[in-house]
Amino acid sequence: MSSIAVLVPTLRRPDDLRRCLDALRRQHSRPDRVLVVRQPSDGETRAVLTQESELPVQEVLVHEPGQVAALNAGLEQAQEDIVAITDDDTTPWPTWIERIRSHFDREPEVGAVGGRDWLYRDGTLLDGSKSSIGQVSWYGRFIAFHHLGRGPAREVDFLKGANMSYRRVAIDSLSVDTGLKGRGVEYNNDFALSLAVKQRGWKVVYDPEVALDHYEARRVESQGRIKGGRRSDADRAVAADKAFNETYIAVKYLPLTRALVHLVFALAVGTGQAPGVGIATLRMGRIGGAGAAMAELRSNVPARLAGAWAGAKARLRT
């Protein structure tokens, strides 16, 4: 059987981390190592790890802020055949590692495996069913819905960071993309890593039975949600970071034609979180009016163009 390490970045969420480690103890097939990444100042996490005696835990210190730095610090330490990545606010089901390992051992062409995270927000399960999971549509939109996937295992374009695993040789010399923007969390870094593996010719597989519960913890930074039809300056900044990252990833990792289609879609239509001309025009008649819509355009359109430019330069370098 392939050896497997579980990578858990964490930051001052000791109760969540304890629950996650407890779930790893109850796996039918235990991990060969658990890499917990923390910052040196995070004494709460340190206290949890000093109490752990059953799991083969290795503490990894990261001195830079941000999720990308934490993930890369953990990946640098991973030597096992498979690296399974999850968040500290998850509870992997007892069969989680067993099912991950079976995909990699059975299918040598598979470079990445992910699954459903049964997502609880403010204690409520966001239940439902979607057939299109982890895809970049023909018109360039990123369609996630990993928390709503049902049905058989299938090949996808990208995975979700709370529940994704990689064959070590598939990510050899790769790191989580440091060109992404964010305020503590570099949005869509999971999409970027999956697409980089797919770009190398590996299969990326989503299996709803590779499952875990995800008790979504609150983040300090703004969530970019519309309140009363308006976004605060902080909300718009978060939306602009997401817009930059999405287009940067599309231009850097997708085939050229699909990257161009994405850029046209993003600027002409956009998404609810990062509207382009089309969605902004529709919002002009709502609360906030033309001023709010124009403010969103003034932040999102330059972010998309900057992302495209950065993605193109990164693509040329590779």
Task: Give the chain's radius of gyration (CA, Å).
Answer: 20
Helix (H) or strand (E) holding 240: helix 233-253
Q: How confident is the model at residue 71 (pLDDT cuts 50, 70, 90)?
A: very high
Pick the closest to residue 149 from 188, 190, 101, 115 (CA basis): 115
Pick the closest to residue 178 from 278, 92, 101, 252 (CA basis): 252
Determine the pLDDT at residue 227: 40
Helix (H) or strand (E) holding 21: helix 14-25
In DSSP terms, 7 is beta-bridged to 35, 85
Burial of 80 (0-12, 13-18, 19+ CB in 10 A): middle
How many helical (H) and strand (E) elements, i.e. helices and strands, does the chain have?
Answer: 9, 12
Q: How is residue 175 written in tokens?
A: 């790191």
Query: Do 257 and 265 touch, CB atoms closer than 8 A?
Result: no
Q: Is the pLDDT of residue 219 over 70?
A: no
Q: How confident is the model at residue 226 (pLDDT cuts 50, 70, 90)?
A: very low
The average pLDDT across 119-127 equals 95
The average pLDDT across 64-86 equals 97
Query: Do 271 and 139 touch, CB atoms closer than 8 A?
Result: no
Q: Is the pLDDT of residue 176 over 50?
A: yes
Supply the DSSP string of 158-185, one letter for each residue. Answer: ---TTEEEEEGGGGTT----TT--BSSS
